Structure 1
Amino acid sequence: MAHGVHPPETDLLLPLPADGEQWDPHTIHTHYFGFSIPEAQIGAFLYVRYMPAVPLSHGGVCLFRGTDNVHVTDMEFLDYEVGMPWPQIDGNTIRTANGLQIEFLEPGRVARVTYTSNDGTTSLDVTQTAVTPLLARGHVMPGEELRHGLDGQGDVRPGGSEQVMHVTGELVLRGERFVVDCHAPRDRSWKQIRVERQGAVPVPPVGWSPMYFGPDLIFNQISFEAQDTGPAWEGVYQVPADRPSHHYAWVVRDGETHEITRVRRNVLEYDPDIFMAIRQEIEAEDETGHVYRFTGEAIATATIPAWPNASFHDSVFRWESQDGRVAHATYQEIWFDDYQRAMKDRFRVAAPQA
């Protein structure tokens, strides 16, 4: 089954309301880029969230190292602003007020991402070159699809894209220099209505797990833990038994893109402080009946401020395929307050008796 592909010009699609239009204030566009340096246990989260109805933006640079980043400010470097003005856009270049710059050298295929901190001790300069098509994605968060087109304004339909990139360049982290050479996903959304109202999205935690093992095996899915695994969300949410646990997944096998029809994600261990999955296994099946199995473990984790109304975490996972091949990539997970409270109860240690 052919997977939809977006045209290159969607990389620069950042519509604003026309004069007299009133868009839902929760309408967003996004650009996400990342990379990892596995041998140093470093992950990078580079993000711009555009809020066209206002218009404002927020985002910046999050660089984390190791697995002890419980609070946002624990990470190795943080320059992330909420309430920035609309970015400067000059041709194919987007620059935020805090200096994160995205230059689309070849829209749909090549992007250069740069940044230098105010004190000059931290900088990055990476070029990201596509190894997959600009695959079309409908939405990320469950519930967004129910709001597509509800604003009733503007000609641009909601959409999104994902693409795996070969990332090369350099990171200087508080004066320490690292070579960057990895494979990482990028993604974006445009004109999605991502509601922040409390209780608006009663859904279990969702996890995003892109993986690149080589040009013959590239896998990606976003799902909640399967119901038959005894998930941590059991008892917190009611999910119809016949509902698939994934809402978006694909695989590139031997150069061909296939739809994934079934995902079973089983979390084996949760971090006792930030509660995200740190050991898990995934079984998936594509539309031809081919089955894939992966096991993974986090080597770096962090709490990320991208969505302050939710608990959002990024990580670097070491994944292993069923034939023993290894991939390192981001694994991201998000959930809301009811699940957070349930996990606090689950991991709360009784105070010692006097």
Structure 2
Amino acid sequence: MRASTSFTRPAFRDPRWHERLEFSCVTTREDLRASFVIDFLTNLDVADCWVAIDAGRSCPQTDFEFTDSQIHLPIDGSQLSNVRLSNGLTIEAAPALHHYTLEYLSVCGRVAARLEFRARTRAADQDFTFIGDAASSGDEGMAADDAAPGGRIDQPMHVTGELRIDDSFFTVDCHSNRSHEWGTTTSLPQPSASVDEMHFSDELTVYLDTREVRETWNSVEHAYVVRKGRIRAVKAAMAVYDTSDTGAGKVRYEITDDADDTYRISGSLTSTGQMISGPNELTAVRRIVADWNGRTALGFSTLVSDIREIQRRRRAHRHSPNSS
């Protein structure tokens, strides 16, 4: 597993090379989900950063409570283990792969957070999470043909702390996934991808990264489960979606881990908001009310779609004989 303290900077100085960190948490009251995503364009010495908090279960509208999107923030002296950005976000590892302290104060002053991310298990690289005959040499969605190989690390975390929105304070005490990906971006159209995450208390955690094969069927490319305190590799997995254009609808999963335990999970999807998250990229955040063996969990699904593909489908629908 590669070092998790310093950036990788390919010698050819490819401007497409980037490293992405993602941290998230859910509050105990109202189930507000806060996501912190940083995309480091290391060979350009800048970073793009998105902070988003969805509106929570008490809000009847499909919207975000708060979003802040900043592009080309100077990296300055930031490293993977010590991030300090001018939008008010800092992340410090003590040590890396074990404990991270995240602090955030929005420029407008509306939102503040102090969160402690502690590892529940060891981190898992793409050789562990990849589902297939053999692990790939890099991350398929991020690598270009002539680029250095990419990769990823995922890690189950336990998150505690506090989130403030205006004059309201929210306690955080939840499980989550921390991800670190690296590789090169591509300008070619990409299939829709969905990252789904569910935590049935301490009994079971399920994490899946899928790519759309057809409109209702996704191929699960990376996954893990946490069962009985141990992270397990996944031998086979299936994800089937029955959703509308907004991403709302139904979903079912069937996952078999390396101990030959099989988990059949069904759930309903509700869209909580959409935002432009990159060039030709639309991100929809969805809540999953999931059921596994009579146990219920609140999960989250992040659907990333290529806007060009969305336009193609809408154009085809508009010209179909059955369209109104």
TM-score by length of 2: 0.82
Q: Which has the higher contact order (CA 8 A, sep 6+)?
A: 1
**Letter of the 1:324 counterpart:** G
What is the deviation of 1:296? Answer: 2.4
**Letter of the 2:257 counterpart:** D
Unpaired runs of 5+ residues, structure 1, are 1-5, 234-243, 349-354
Q: Deviations over 1:293-338 (max 9, x none)?
A: 11223456222443232122223433221x2223333311112134
1:208 aligns with 2:178: no
Aligned residue runs from structure 1 range 1-354, under 5 A: 6=1, 10-17=3-10, 21-37=11-27, 39-66=29-56, 74-89=63-78, 92-137=81-126, 142-144=140-142, 147=145, 150-151=146-147, 158-190=150-182, 192-195=183-186, 197-199=187-189, 201=190, 203=191, 205-224=192-211, 231-232=215-216, 245-270=219-244, 272=245, 275-298=246-269, 301-321=272-292, 323-341=293-311, 344=314
Larger mean Cα displacement after TM superposition, 327-336 or 217-226 = 217-226
| Shift in alpha-carbon separation, 1:182–1:206, aligned structure 2, 3 A | same
What is the deviation of 1:265? Answer: 1.2
| Shift in alpha-carbon separation, 1:216–1:262, aligned structure 2, 3 A | same
Unpaired runs of 5+ residues, structure 2, are 128-135, 319-324
Q: Secondary structure of the equivalent of 1:24?
A: coil
Q: Decide which structure has greater strand share.
A: 2
Q: Deviations over 1:68-124 (max 9, x none)?
A: 776xxx522122201211154279421112111111122111111111122433211
| Mapped partners of 1:35, 1:135: distance in 2 | 19
| Shift in alpha-carbon separation, 1:92–1:106, aligned structure 2, 3 A | same
Give the equivalent residue in structure 2 for 1:3: none
Q: Secondary structure of the equivalent of 1:133?
A: coil
RMSD: 3.0
Identity rate of aligned residues, in percent?
21
| Mapped partners of 2:60, 2:33: distance in 1 | 13
Larger mean Cα displacement after TM superposition, 108-117 or 323-332 = 323-332
TM-score by length of 1: 0.76
| Shift in alpha-carbon separation, 1:345–1:295, aligned structure 2, 3 A | farther
**Letter of the 2:161 counterpart:** G
| Mapped partners of 1:112, 1:25: distance in 2 | 29
| Mapped partners of 1:158, 1:225: distance in 2 | 21
Q: Secondary structure of the equivalent of 1:329?
A: strand
| Shift in alpha-carbon separation, 1:218–1:23, aligned structure 2, 3 A | same
Contact 1:34 1:184 in 2 (8 A): yes
Q: Secondary structure of the equivalent of 1:12?
A: coil
